[in-house]
Amino acid sequence: MESYDTVLSASAWEQVIEKSRFIGLVFPVTNTQEVEQRLQEVRKDYPNARHYVYAYRLYQGQLEKSTDDGEPQGTGGRPVLDVLQYRQLWDVLLVVIRYFGGILLGTGGLSRAYGGTARQLMDQASVGRLVPHQIYEIEAGYEWYEPLKYWLKQYSWSTANEEFLALVKFQVYIPWADRQQFLDWLADFTERKVVAREIEVTLCAELE
């Protein structure tokens, strides 16, 4: 499992060029089903647009696609896809909607409009790096809960899925490079009275 850059949240940006309104929208996605769902939502939220140009890149399978949606070939989807490729972003859907203003832009003007909208959108989008994390499960007596939570926070190791039964149980997300440091620290801090069980490896946003 390798690290890669992606958008962390949806965002939008728009501009008007020769009376045509260009609206850029970007979404994090992980599969083609999510892509189709987002596209349906976009068409519902922005009805009666002349064109819904889009491009996406999916990390699994290294799949990428673009469409001009009725614009002259290569003037819409290709410039949008170029932005994602240049920034080496994966698991991203980028849509540029056009409400036609009555003035023809020509092929060069269209490419600049679609590509420029995509670039301006990505300049202000929330972009981050997803890195592999090992998820560990800790199960311990209640006397360990507050001390462990305090020090895990000091190391910027995040926790989740807490359960309070006879014992307290929660998961810890450890960056792949910190695994041995975490295990050594836990053994030393608890005098080996608390152990961590490996659950799975997942991708999480890298903390700045």
Rounded CA-CA distance 18/31 in Å is 36
Rounded CA-CA distance 58/81 in Å is 12
Encode pLDDT of 143-196 as tens digits: 999 999 999 999 999 999 999 999 999 999 999 999 999 999 999 999 999 999
Confidence grade of residue 207 (pLDDT, cut at 50, 70, 90): low
* Local structure of 88: helix, strand or coil: coil
Residue 60 token pair: 């699994």
Residues 6 or more apart whose Cβ sits within 8 Å of residue 150: none
Confidence grade of residue 61 (pLDDT, cut at 50, 70, 90): confident
Residue 111 token pair: 């490419």
Q: Where are the alpha helices (DSSP H) in 46-144?
A: 77-86, 106-124
Residues 6 or more apart whose Cβ sits within 8 Å of residue 100: 20, 50, 51
The CA-based angle 2-199-147, given to 5 degrees, is 105
Confidence grade of residue 71 (pLDDT, cut at 50, 70, 90): very high
Encode pLDDT of 87-146 as tens digits: 999 999 999 999 998 888 999 999 999 999 999 999 999 999 999 999 999 999 999 999
Burial of residue 82 (number of CB atoms within 10 Å: 0-12, 13-18, 19+): middle
* Local structure of 154: helix, strand or coil: helix
Is residue 114 a contact partner of residue 183, using CB atoms and an 8 Å limit? Answer: no
Is residue 85 a contact partner of residue 119, using CB atoms and an 8 Å limit? Answer: no
Q: State residue 29 phi and psi, 5-degree precision.
A: -140, 160
